[in-house]
Structures are given as C-alpha cells and as structure tokens.
Amino acid sequence: MTYDPSRRAPASEGDFLGIISLGCATENMWLMAEALGIGFHVVSSLASGSAEKEVKHILGIPDSLRIVYAIRLGYPVSGSEYLRVRREVGDFTHYNRFGNKGLA
C-alpha cells in the first residue's frame, strides 16, 4: 500500500486524512478477503528504512511514494489453529466514563 504525500486535497496540508483513507480502503479489502475465505495479514515492517528502499527498487516504486504497509494474502491451511489473540471487550470499553483499569 503506497501513499503519495504530495497529492493532497486543497487546504489539507498537515492533516492525517490521506493515511486514514488508506485504513478505510484496507478495511474493505480485508472484509472482502475474509468473505472469500482468503487470509489477510498487514505487514508494517516494510514501511521504513532499508527494507522500504529495497522493496521500492524491486517493484519499481517511485521515490516520491511512501510504502505505508504491505498486505499478504493467501488461503489458510485447512485444519490449522486460529492464532489471532482477541482481548475481552470489557478490557477496552467503558460505559459513561473513562476507565483506568490497572493504572495508578
């Protein structure tokens, strides 16, 4: 997933909306992949440093674009364990106030 920081909407200099839009597009791709039984994994380790330069070189991505993250797609091995760890909803939701569970 690449991002061109030079292409911005008028009067949007300094905002984060372009990156947020990438998240929205990624969510739609993820939902469709899941609906088709395709595994979806976001890889953020390519988004900086020498890894980004190497990937740009291999794929011919212009220097003006930034790699925000990569996405791996594939069909899960049947019968494999589901490795995603989910937190309990009560650990990160609060009703009518901010919760400080575990904070002093």
89 is a domain residue = no
21 is a domain residue = yes
Q: Tokens representing 104?
A: 């002093």
92 is a domain residue = no
Query: Residue 71: which residues within 8 A CB-CB, separation 6 or more?
Result: 1, 26, 29, 40, 41, 42, 43
pLDDT of residue 29: 95
For residue 16, CA distances in Å to 21, 22, 42 come to: 9, 10, 20
pTM, whole model, 2 decimals?
0.62
- Overall domain count for the chain: 1
Q: Tokens representing 51?
A: 């890894």
Domain span holding position 43? 2-76
pLDDT digits (tens, 9 = 90+) for 26-71: 999 999 999 999 999 988 877 667 888 888 999 999 999 988 888 9
Which amino acid is residue 74, in one-letter code? Answer: G
86 is a domain residue = no
